[in-house]
Amino acid sequence: MKRSSGLRPLVFLGASTAFDEIIEVVRDMNAQTPRWEVVAALDDADQAQGTSMQGVPVLGRLDEWTHFPDADFIFAIGSHRTRMLRLSILDRLRIPESRFPALIHPRAKVYPTATVGAGSIVHMNVAVLGGAVLEPFAIVAFNAIVGPKAALRRGAMLASAAIALTGVEIGACAFVGAASCIAEGVRIGPGAMIGMGTHVYRDVHPGAFVLGQPPRVLRRDEVPPALLSGWVERTPST
């Protein structure tokens, strides 16, 4: 049910830095076609309770999403540090995927043959080219490019000014840092992290942290089995 304003209520899951970026996408979308009223944020951090962000009150913890039976939700949790926790939080909450609208900034260009999944967020000046696929809860930040037939799997993140060229595949909950470039056809494994400014020419193993020119593997983080489901590696990889 819509509110008396005629706008659908919208609740943010997460009250941290990402909130300030994502709410601007919502505002710019509303300026073009009024859709939502941001009514609350929910966060599990003790210090967030009873606070507000840009006038939006934090009204409880994540599990209290059921208090908003008519709302849409925005998943605003996740950074390079917490990338592999994102989907486990969603799985715990068990909110129907249909309650998460895709956010596409009016100044983004998404080709008609591209697919943008539920809960995905496409920021300003992004290009998502022909045949590209953003699975649910993927994030593409300012000025990034998703090349033709590239794929960001569930929960993957492409940071500002990063480029995924033709046929690139970025695994679930992987993070590609700002101003990085992934060469054509390269596959970035689930949970991997590409440091900012890195140019990647070979496949990257799941959980690997790759940085520098030439790129070097600095460490490998353990990847939850759920993120590896369906992922088959090629060899050799970085």
CATH of the domain at 194: 2.160.10.10
pLDDT of residue 193: 95
> Bridge partners of 182?
164, 200
**Is residue 94 a part of any domain in this protein?**
no
Round to whole Å and give the CA distance between 146 and 57: 34
Which residue, 174, 168, 73, is CA-closest to 118?
73
Residue 110 C-alpha from the chain's centroid = 16
Residues 120 and 22 in one domain: no
Residue 39 belongs to domain with CATH number: 3.40.50.20
Residues 129 and 65 in one domain: no
Question: Is the preceding omega at residue 101 within 30 degrees of 0, hence cis?
Answer: no
Which residue, 142, 144, 143, 95, is CA-closest to 119?
95
pLDDT of residue 1: 42
**Is residue 24 a part of any domain in this protein?**
yes
Number of domains in the chain: 2
Residues 131 and 66 in one domain: no
* Residues of the domain holding 70: 8-77
Query: Could you give the strand order of the β-sheet that contains 199-200, starting from the edge strand earlier in sequence?
Result: 109-110, 127-128, 145-146, 163-164, 181-182, 199-200
- Looking at the whole model, is its pTM more than 0.85? yes
Residues 160 and 211 in one domain: yes
**Is residue 108 a part of any domain in this protein?**
yes
238 residues of the chain, pLDDT tens digit each: 445 468 999 999 998 889 999 999 999 999 999 999 999 999 999 999 999 999 999 999 999 999 999 999 999 987 777 888 889 999 999 999 999 999 999 999 999 999 999 999 999 999 999 999 999 999 999 999 999 999 999 999 999 999 999 999 999 999 999 999 999 999 999 999 999 999 999 999 999 999 988 889 999 989 989 899 889 887 655 5
Which tokens sit at 91?
């799985």
Round to whole Å and give the CA distance between 82 and 205: 18
